Amino acid sequence: MRHYTVTAGEKGMRLDQFLALDKPEFTRSFIQKFIKGGSVFVNHKKTTKAAMRLNEGDELVVIIPSIRETGIEAENIPLDVVYEDKDLIVVNKAPGMPVHPTDHGAHVSGTLVNALLYHCKDSLSGIGGEMRPGIVHRIDKFTSGLIIAAKNDHAHRMVAGQIMAHHVTKKYIALLNGHLTPKIGSIEAPILKTHGDKMVQVSNSDKAKYALTHYEVQKYIGDFTLVEVRIVTGRTHQIRVHFASIGHPVAGDDRYGDPKTNERLKEKTGLSRQFLHAAYLKFKLPSTGKEIELRAPLVKDLASTLKRLTN
């Protein structure tokens, strides 16, 4: 539960805007759903109006549901734990595992959240909401690699703040179609969500969000390029869309890639998902401020793909 008092400088703000400023790790759409769900009280009265204008002195109470109220079941799913302390757990997520259940009922089991609830019991932050307890950031279902989950709200806010300030270093390993040049470069192109957020695209629309991706070629393998990628921003499908926009989509990507190339790659190597792996994280631990570096080697299917391409 959180308590707020509206100041003179905050007078006239929309309720969802007020909460978004306090919790930058939340999207505006998530906050609006949270308000409509009846979890916010203004002057001791429940409100479901996200556009409600606030007055100086208004008292706000925000109720964050506990883990055990969510209805998501803990499942004994094996986890590859790379780091863990009283505040955080960092997992090398397996490909094909969704990070969390969705609002529309898909992936109600077998997700990273289900596994974390079993592993961490009730020790997960509630900031992510009832569908995403503990989840500070996400990676795609078919992307493997490192992901951070928080065990308490303080740790969640600290890590989310580092991400918002671009103080967390995230590096990926990707295999791209074709030979990418120059060998070191950046892609700076705004990204817009389309088709109900299921797809994104590079766009000059005013609604598009700034996105920046740095890369360095590791080597050329046949008709492909192995690259190390560092993302400055963390937009949905950012790496996949950025490289597709310059004619070098991620190998195996069935959404933004080339179907014919993907099929040939699958026949040769057996790869059935995008070749994208979250390989490196650097950030500061919430309690001590100590900087930590974590690495996750390529998982079996990606390592096997490289081996078969070089034979």
Q: Given the structure tokens 């930590």, which residue do they identify? A: 292
CA distance 98 to 88: 19
Asked if 58 and 42 touch (Cβ cutoff 8 Å), the reply is: yes
Q: Is the backbone of residue 180 left (phi > 0), alpha (psi -120 to 50) or beta? A: beta
CA distance 177 to 249: 6
Local structure of residue 87 (DSSP, 8 states): S
Strand partners, 239: none
CA distance 270 to 293: 32
Which ranges in the chain belong to alpha helices (H)? 15-22, 28-36, 112-120, 153-164, 238-245, 259-269, 300-310
Counting Cβ atoms within 10 Å, is residue 63 exposed (0-12), middle (13-18) or buried (19+)?
middle
The pair of structure tokens assigned to 223 is: 């008709």
> Of 112, 142, 147, 98, nearest to 302 (Cα)?
142
> Of 24, 105, 124, 113, nearest to 75 (Cα)?
113
> Of 280, 293, 24, 21, nearest to 158 (Cα)?
24
| Residues with catalytic roles | 140
